[in-house]
């Protein structure tokens, strides 16, 4: 593969953009090398500025579940743009998208649109605190809920200690109200609750984790959280920015059979444009301004271009009852193919999968939480990433990110991906 033009563009971007990128993972820092600059995409394929073509397993980090440049979405955005891009007033299409989302997702009655998943999670936690009149929240190590201060917290010295900030600029005052638990470990949550009785507003979790690789929850863990929240008058917040409208028509709530009190959305709900949302019962949402005292606002929230893209995407998913099953079967097919090649080559790896999310961890330890995900051999991952990239396979440039399959991927694409891995491991011998 040639990367001359990408290298040149990265050098230029570094002069005017911190690190040369507007989202850190794009910098390839964890895998080394120069990031690839993409100029266009269609279906399951990306094309970079040097003319290289790749089979894409990122799908813009999840939103493009039906493939790049999906025509109904493109047409809807173009038609709306011709009427104006933003008005700062209510528009009918906001209600149409809200009504469809409420229809598709169980246990929600009202929804508020924002511009990103970060905004959605930040607003959901504020709403939970305003509704419960309690300050503290529990989050899980390795679960990413955006870059709001409350969420940039790492572990303390023990299960019941306060978190501490892991980013400069986050104050100890903010950190003290965020308690850190271990994913898939209900006892770690109980310890925090017992140590902070009556003080915890909510538990926020990625119901299927995607920011330490793909890590599904154990059934007893996720159901135990619901029970614990009911017992202690805490709200359960599902961060479905990744899983919403991807794992199923009604997202993780539907697939896992667990009711969340507040649900956060992003990615798929915007059809590739910047959209986030949070939703709950009418009772909880009634506490939100202008109806209630909990303030939240956004100038471009619900803008017609984003709403048009999201509506076209959700309408397509809502009409195609088989799409989620197709994606899950493709993901299973890829899983089995990759696993066979790695086993034949004697390469130790763990492959986690849930629906259309999947990740490969070069470790001999099952990956069930952040600590076990961090045991993977990063040097092997770096070689794997660049080896696959050079063979035309675009994977997440981080060992801690999930792959997101899109429905435009064919079984031939999946076979080519498995063949690329076979070629790569042969080269390692």
Which residues are part of the catalytic machinery?
A: 144, 239, 267
Determine the Cα–Cα distance for residues 73 and 300; give it in Å rounded to an integer. Answer: 19
Q: Of the candidates 32, 52, 53, 55, which has an alpha carbon nearest to the alpha carbon of residue 44?
A: 55
In 187-342, DSSP assigns E strands to: 200-205, 235-240, 262-265, 276-280
Residue partners of 379: CB distance under 8 A and separation at least 6: none
- Tokens 């593969």 locate to 1
Collapsing DSSP states into helix, strand and coil, what is residue 367? coil
Determine the Cα–Cα distance for residues 349 and 216; give it in Å rounded to an integer. Answer: 17
Output the six-digit token pair for 141: 């190590």
Q: Is there a contact between 193 and 187 (Cβ–Cβ < 8 Å)?
A: no
Residue 96 burial (CB count, 10 A): 16
Determine the Cα–Cα distance for residues 236 and 216; give it in Å rounded to an integer. Answer: 17
Determine the Cα–Cα distance for residues 307 and 96; give it in Å rounded to an integer. Answer: 9
* Helical axes 92-104 vs 304-319, angle rounded to 10°: 30
In whole angstroms, what separates CA 68 from the centre of its chain?
A: 18
Q: Of the candidates 64, 72, 65, 7, which has an alpha carbon nearest to the alpha carbon of residue 34?
A: 7
Determine the Cα–Cα distance for residues 110 and 136; give it in Å rounded to an integer. Answer: 25
DSSP 152-194: -EE--SSTTSBPEESSTT--HHHHTTEEEE-TT-HHHHHHHHH
Determine the Cα–Cα distance for residues 148 and 170; give it in Å rounded to an integer. Answer: 9
Q: Is there a contact between 385 and 57 (Cβ–Cβ < 8 Å)?
A: no
Determine the Cα–Cα distance for residues 334 and 379; give it in Å rounded to an integer. Answer: 23
Q: Is 205 left (phi over 0), alpha (psi -120 to 50) or beta?
A: beta
Determine the Cα–Cα distance for residues 238 and 252; give it in Å rounded to an integer. Answer: 8
């Amino acid at each position: 593969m040639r990367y001359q033009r990408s290298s040149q563009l990265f050098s230029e971007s570094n002069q005017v953009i911190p690190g040369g990128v507007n989202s850190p993972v794009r910098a390839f820092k964890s895998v080394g090398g120069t990031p690839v600059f993409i100029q266009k995409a269609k279906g399951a394929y990306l094309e970079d500025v040097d003319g290289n073509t790749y089979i894409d397993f990122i799908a813009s980090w999840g939103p493009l579940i039906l493939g790049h440049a999906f025509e109904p979405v493109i047409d809807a955005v173009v038609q709306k743009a011709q009427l104006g891009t933003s008005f700062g007033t209510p528009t009918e299409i906001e209600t149409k998208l809200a009504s469809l989302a409420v229809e598709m997702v169980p246990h929600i009655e009202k929804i508020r649109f924002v511009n990103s998943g970060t905004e959605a999670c930040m607003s959901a936690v504020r709403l939970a605190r305003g509704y419960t009149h309690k300050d503290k929240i529990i989050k899980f190590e390795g679960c990413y809920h955006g870059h709001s201060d409350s969420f940039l917290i790492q572990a303390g010295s023990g299960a019941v200690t306060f978190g501490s900030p892991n980013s400069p600029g986050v104050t100890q005052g903010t950190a003290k109200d965020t308690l850190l638990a271990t994913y898939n470990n209900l006892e770690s949550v109980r310890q925090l609750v017992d140590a902070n009785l009556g003080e915890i507003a909510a538990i926020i979790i990625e119901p299927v984790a995607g920011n330490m690789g793909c890590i599904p929850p154990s059934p007893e863990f996720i159901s135990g959280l619901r029970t614990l929240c009911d017992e202690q008058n805490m709200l359960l917040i599902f961060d479905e920015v990744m899983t919403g409208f991807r794992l199923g028509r009604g997202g993780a709530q539907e697939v896992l059979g667990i009711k969340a009190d507040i649900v956060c959305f992003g990615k798929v709900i915007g059809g590739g444009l910047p959209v986030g949302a949070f939703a709950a019962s009418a009772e909880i949402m009634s506490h939100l301004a202008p109806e209630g005292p909990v303030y939240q606002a956004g100038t471009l929230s619900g803008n017609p271009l984003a709403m048009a893209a999201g509506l076209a995407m959700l309408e397509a998913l809502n009409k195609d009852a088989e799409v989620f099953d197709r994606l899950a079967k493709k993901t299973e097919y890829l899983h089995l193919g990759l696993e066979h090649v790695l086993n034949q080559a004697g390469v130790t790896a763990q492959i986690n999968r849930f629906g259309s999310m999947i990740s490969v961890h070069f470790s001999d330890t099952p990956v069930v939480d952040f600590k076990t995900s961090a045991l993977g051999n990063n040097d092997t991952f770096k070689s794997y990433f660049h080896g696959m990239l050079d063979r035309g396979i675009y994977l997440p440039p981080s060992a801690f990110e999930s792959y997101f399959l899109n429905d435009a991927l064919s079984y031939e694409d999946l076979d080519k991906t498995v063949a690329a891995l076979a070629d790569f491991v042969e080269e390692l011998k």
